[in-house]
Amino acid sequence: MKAYINGISYYLPKSILDNVQLSNQFPEWSIDKISEKTGIYKRHISEDNEYSSDMGINVIEQFLIEYNVNKEEIDFLLFCTQSPDYLLPTTACLIQDKVGFKKTCGALDFNLGCSGYIYGLGLAKGLVETDQARNVLLVTSETYSKFIHKRDKSNRTIFGDAATATLITSEPKRNHYKFSIGNFAYGTDGSGYDKLIIKNSGVKHKCITSSDLLDEEGNFISNDDYIFMDGKEIFNFTAFEVPPLIERLLKVNGITLDDVSMHIFHQANEYMLNFIRKRCKIPEVRFFISLNDIGNTVSSTIPIALRRYLDNLKLEINHKILLAGFGVGLSLGGVIINLE
Amino acid sequence: MEPNVFLENFKKQFIDGDKLEIAMKTEFRQIESYDSLTGMTIIVMIKDEYNVDITDNEYKSQKSINDLFNLIQSKLKT
């Protein structure tokens, strides 16, 4: 039995944070120059009372209408988030009830960021190919904006909020993509756990609250209650770990780079993407970038980019797309999807 | 390790590298298109091309391209 991708929908919150607003808040910040390099000009930001469950429900309802899917058909919900409504219960359980999925539906959350979509596809494929489920809905939903300190101009420039829904099924019926899910390659380096972290966010530092750490000129550096990202270390991890991941991925799928029609990587920022593309020796024409109006939406970047790519494409037989995600954890993964 | 080759590798890390007119004595942080992302790619280039690791502190204390070149040379000798 094979597993197929049967459609992707995405949801973007209504509020937009653009460069003019950022420039007004941080007059010393050369935002236009930075945007030219990162390729990010706008980000969508969730409302104060809009949480990952709300965005997840929105995108699921949109998906069911867009692809004319009956919610009774869904027999497993995988929910990828690092901003759950609660530590417990599982956000996927709340969503099952609110959307009205049947009570025989399995549901779980998993905590991954920029590599999450790849791991979600891997879990969904496992459920389908072992006949544990026929129709798995993989939902990514992230509200990093709620974790970013208002004075943290770097991260506010990069990250945006979004949610996506992808249906993975045992049969390619009803879909207009007909992409089977090929083999995966994964990777982990937990020694870099503190390179992208919210230190005071779980049980270990539960009762600790921190104050702002500033540099000599009074600029914000970090606060352990909010997201901290060591950009240089994340950059190095990506630079040195992604090229061997791509090599392993091609090998386990028995193909070469020339066999891949399009490469869609986690949309971190345009500069880093082009840097990695060159290191992986991927031609520019076979490398898709789409983030200028949404920023880095964490686990949602790959499905959003994939949907946008497919929306503007006349598909050919044997169209192979390489997907790769990398980031917080530190974690990475990739998969080949094949048009059949 | 040739200074001219190093200079060419160094220029390639800049977004406008093909137009840059710089020399070994150039203080690279003064180049208009230089920023922290460029710095990251320079350190990766040094690891790739010369298999030399440069720490943050070492990198921060180098001013000219020649300073960086000399640092790499000294690390290659040890």
Is the Cβ of A236 closer than 8 Å to some Cβ of chain B?
Answer: yes
pTM score, two decimals? 0.91
Fold of A180-339: Peroxisomal Thiolase; Chain A, domain 1 (3.40.47)
CB contact under 8 A, A37 and B41: no
Higher local confidence (pLDDT), B18 or A270: A270
Using CB atoms and an 8 Å cut-off, which of residues 129-188 of chain A contact chain B?
A: none
Give the integer Cα–Cα distance in Å for A286 and A258: 10
A20's tokens: 């003019």
pLDDT at A307: 95
Query: What is d(CA A79, CA A140) in angstroms, rounded to the nearest whole number?
Result: 6
Contact map slice: A 274-293 vs B, CB within 8 A: 275
Half-sphere exposure of A54 (CA within 13 A, CB side): 11
Alpha helices in chain A (DSSP H): 19-25, 31-38, 52-66, 91-99, 116-129, 153-158, 231-253, 270-279, 301-311
Distance CA A317, CA A87 (A): 45
Output the CA–CA distances (angstroms, integers) from residue A185 to A19, A246, A263, B29, in the order listed. Answer: 37, 8, 15, 39
How far apart (Å, rounded) are the C-alpha atoms in residues A263 and A285?
9
Would you say residue B78 has pLDDT above 80?
no
DSSP A228-245: EE-HHHHHHHHHHHHHHH
Contacts of A154 in chain B (CB under 8 A): none
Q: How many CB pairs under 8 A join A and B?
A: 23
Q: Is there a cis peptide before residue A330, judged by omega within 30 degrees of 0?
A: yes
Token duo for residue A298: 């964490």
As to burial, measured by CB atoms within 10 angstroms (0-12 exposed, 13-18 middle, 19+ buried), residue A176 is exposed
According to CATH, what is the number of the domain A4-176? 3.40.47.10
Distance from CA of A231 to the nearest CA of B (A): 9
Which pLDDT does position A173 carry in this prediction? 66
Q: Are A105 and A136 in contact (CB under 8 A)?
A: no
Query: Which residue has 């995988």 as its token pair?
Result: A78
The pLDDT assigned to A171 comes to 84
| Cβ-contact A201, A224 below 8 angstroms | no
CA-nearest residue to A270 within chain B is B37
Please tell me the distance from the alpha carbon of residue A79 to that of residue A56, in angstroms, as a whole number. 8
Q: Which residues pair with A168 in a beta bridge?
A: A5, A136
Tokens of B10: 């160094």
The minimal CB distance from A275 to the residues B35, B41, B43 is found for: B41
- What is the band of B17 on the pLDDT scale with cuts at 50, 70, 90? confident
Query: How far is A238 from A230, CA to CA, in rounded Å?
Result: 12
Strand A179-188 and strand A331-339: the pairing is antiparallel
pLDDT value of position A90? 97
As to burial, measured by CB atoms within 10 angstroms (0-12 exposed, 13-18 middle, 19+ buried), residue A252 is middle
- How far is Cα A316 from Cα A328, in angstroms, rounded to an integer? 35
Spans of chain A, pLDDT less than 70? 173-176, 315
Domain ranges of chain A: 4-176, 180-339
Alpha-carbon gap: A235 to the closest alpha carbon of chain B (Å): 7
Strand partners, A220: A214
Are the C-beta atoms of A181 and A4 separated by less than 8 Å? yes
Dihedral of CA A261/A264/A269/A272: which sign?
negative
- B36–A232 CB contact, under 8 Å: yes
Asked if B37 lies within 8 A of A236 by C-beta distance, the reply is no
CATH: 1.10.3210.10, 3.30.460.80, 3.40.50.2000, 1.10.1200.10. Which one for B3-77? Answer: 1.10.1200.10
User: Using a CB-CB distance cutoff of 8 angstroms, which residues of chain A are in contact with residue B43?
Assistant: 236
